[in-house]
C-alpha cells in the first residue's frame, strides 16, 4: 500500500491544483507500482499537508518574507487562499 506525503505551504496551491496533484500522483502509482491495474487505486494514499508560510524557510528567508517582497507572488498566494 503506497503512501505519498506531499508538504507545501498554505496557499501555494488552489483547491483545483491540490486535487489535480493528488490525482496525478495516484495515477503514477497505479501505472508503476500497480502495473497499470486500475484496481490498485484503492490502495493508494496521497496526503497533502499545508503549513503556514512562516514555518518554511529557504536560503535563510522565510516564505512569509518572500511573499512580502514579491508582489506578484503574494497576489497569487492571496488569490489561492480565497478559493478555500
Specify the pLDDT at position 63: 84
Neighbours of 12 (CB within 10 A): 18
**Contact in structure between 13 and 6 (CB atoms under 8 Å):** no
**Contact in structure between 34 and 41 (CB atoms under 8 Å):** yes
Residue that has been written with the C-alpha cell 497576489 in this structure: 75
Q: How many residues does the chain have?
A: 84
> Cα 27 vs. chain centroid, distance in angstroms?
16
pLDDT tens-digit readout, 40-79: 999 999 999 999 988 988 888 888 888 777 767 667 777 7
pTM here is: 0.76
**Contact in structure between 43 and 53 (CB atoms under 8 Å):** no
Amino acid at each position: 500500500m503506497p503512501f505519498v506525503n506531499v508538504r507545501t505551504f498554505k496557499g501555494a496551491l488552489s483547491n483545483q491544483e491540490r486535487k489535480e496533484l493528488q490525482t496525478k500522483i495516484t495515477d503514477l502509482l497505479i501505472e508503476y507500482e500497480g502495473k497499470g491495474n486500475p484496481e490498485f487505486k484503492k490502495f493508494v494514499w496521497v496526503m497533502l499537508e499545508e503549513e503556514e508560510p512562516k514555518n518554511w524557510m529557504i536560503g535563510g528567508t522565510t516564505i512569509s518574507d518572500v511573499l512580502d517582497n514579491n508582489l506578484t507572488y503574494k497576489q497569487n498566494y492571496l488569490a489561492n487562499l480565497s478559493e478555500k
